[in-house]
Amino acid sequence: MERWGDLERPAMDRAAGEQFLSAAFQVLLEEAVRKGTDVAQKVCEWKEPHELRELLDLELRSRGEPESRLLERCRDVIRYSVKTCHPRFFNQLFSGLDHHALVGRLLTETLNTSQYTYEIAPVFVLMEEVVLAKLRELVGWKSGDGIFCPGGSISNMYAMNVARFQRFPESRQLGSRALPRLVLFASEECHYSIQKGAAFLGIGTDNVVLVRADERGKMIPEELELEIERVKSEGAVPFFVSATCGTTVLGAFDPLGPVADVCQRHGLWLHVDAAWGGSALLSRKHRQLLAGIERADSVAWNPHKMLTVGLQCSAFLLRDDSGLLQRCHGAGATYLFQPDKFYDVTLDTGDKTVQCGRRVDCLKLWLLWKAVGTEGLEQRVDRAFACTRYLAAEVKRRPGFQLVLEPEFLNLCFWFVPPSLRGQQGRADFEQLLGKVAPAIKERMMKEGSMMVGYQPHGTKPNFFRQIVTSPAVTRADLDFFLDEIERLGHDL
C-alpha cells in the first residue's frame, strides 16, 4: 500500500526561498546593476578557461549547498561575466542597461508563462498585439501581422519560409520535391543568417546569390537585376530578396526604393533585415536612412540592440493581414488550440510560429516605452548618432587614427596606426603589420578589463576596430577615454 503522507505539505520551504530571493536581489542590485554600470569598475575580469573552471567549481553534485554558498556563487557569476551594461562596453550591437526594461525582464521570468494562448498569457497576448502594431506603424503600414522571435536570425528565416509558402503553398505538404529550383538574393554584406536560413530551410546555400555592393557596403540595384535575369535564364525561379538596413560591420543601408522597384518588376518578395538599423525609424532626423521600407513585404527589427531593451527582443513584421503566418505554420494541436474555447480563439496566436513554448519578449519593450514614451526613444536614437559623430570628428583630428569610411550609422570603423608604422604605408608588409595591431590592443584591454571593442578584417582591408555606442549612459568622457585607451595600449606596438 502506498503512503501519501509526504504529499500533505509542500516540498519547498517558501519562507527560506523568499529569504534567499531577497538576499539574491541585493547581490543583483549591488554587484550587477550598480557596479556593472560604474566606470570605476572593470568591464571584465579576464581569466583563462582553466582558471575560470577552477574558480567557479561548476561541478553538479548529489547534495545541495547552503544559502551563503549559493549567494557567493551568484557573486562569482557576476564577477567573472562581461559587464555588457558598462558604459565602456562597445563590443556588440547591444549594450547598456535600462532599469525599466530590466523590471520587465524580471517580471517575465517571475510570471514564467508561454505566449501561445490567451488562456495562460492574456495580458501578454494583448500587449504583443499593441507593440507589434506600433512597430508596423513606424514602418509605414496601417495593418499587417507579426510575431516576436528568438533573435533576428530566426526572423530572417521566417521571412524566407513565409515567402516560399506564399509563392508555393503546396511546399508545406509536399516539400522541396514539388518545387522548382528556388533562388534568393541578398547583398554580399548581408548577415550570415541568410545563408544559414537557406541551409536550414532546405533551399541550399548554392541557391543564395550574394549581390555585389558598392564601396560603402550598399547593394547595387542594377547588379541585383542582372543576377535575377541570369538566374531566370538558367531555368531557376527567383522568389525572395533580402535587403539590409544596417549591415553588421560597416552599418550600410541598402537603397530600398530602387531595390523595391526591381522586386516589383520581377514579382519577388522583398524582406528588409533591419535588425540593427530598424530603430532609426524612431528618429525624425534619421529615419530617411530607411526610406522605402514601407514597400517591403516583411521586416526584421531587433529593439534589443539600439534601444537598450535587453536580450532578446526581436520582431518579425509582416505587411500581409490575410493570416499568412497562420496558414504557413499552423498545426492546430488540439491540446492547445481547441476551436470550441469559451473566448475568441483568434487570440491564441501561438500557432503562427514554428515554436510551441514561446518566451514573452514584449513586456520589457512595452514597459520601457511606457516609461520614456516615443519621444524618449527618439532622443536615445539621436544621442547614439551624436556619439558616433563626435567620435568620428575626434578620429579625424587625432594623429595615428584613420577612418575606414565616414560613418553613415552608428558603426565607427577605424584603424589605429602605432608610431612605429606611421609614414610606412609604402612598405610591402604594411597591411600585414597593421592587421596585427587591433588584435594586440584587444588582448591588452581585455586582460586589463578597461573596456571592450570589436575588430575584424573586411574584404581586402586588414583588421580594424568597429566601435558601437548604443547605451544612453555613455558620456563624452567615456568616448574620450576610449580613444585615449586605444592610444595608450597601442603606442609601443
* Helix, strand, coil percent values for the chain (each to nearest 5): 50, 15, 40
The proportion of the chain whose per-residue pLDDT surpasses 70, expressed as a percent, equals 100
Q: Which residues contact 237 (CB under 8 A, 6 or more apart)?
A: 179, 180, 181, 182, 183
C-alpha cell at 371: 516609461
pLDDT value at residue 1: 57
pLDDT value at residue 177: 85
Residue pLDDT, tens place only, 79-96: 999 999 999 999 999 999
Nearest CA to 190 out of 207, 216, 211, 164 is that of 211
Looking at every residue in the chain, the average pLDDT score rounds to 96
Q: What is the mean pLDDT of each run of 10 residues along the chain (493 residues)?
A: 78 94 97 97 97 95 96 98 97 96 98 96 98 98 96 97 96 90 97 96 97 97 98 97 98 98 98 98 98 98 96 97 96 92 94 94 98 98 98 97 97 97 90 96 97 96 96 97 97 93
Three-state DSSP at 352 gives helix
Q: Which residues contact 94 (CB under 8 A, 6 or more apart)?
A: 84, 304, 305, 308, 311, 470
pLDDT value at residue 176: 85
- The residues with which 456 forms a beta bridge, in sequence order, are 464
CA–CA separation, 326 and 324 (whole Å)? 5
What is the maximum alpha-carbon separation in the chain? 90
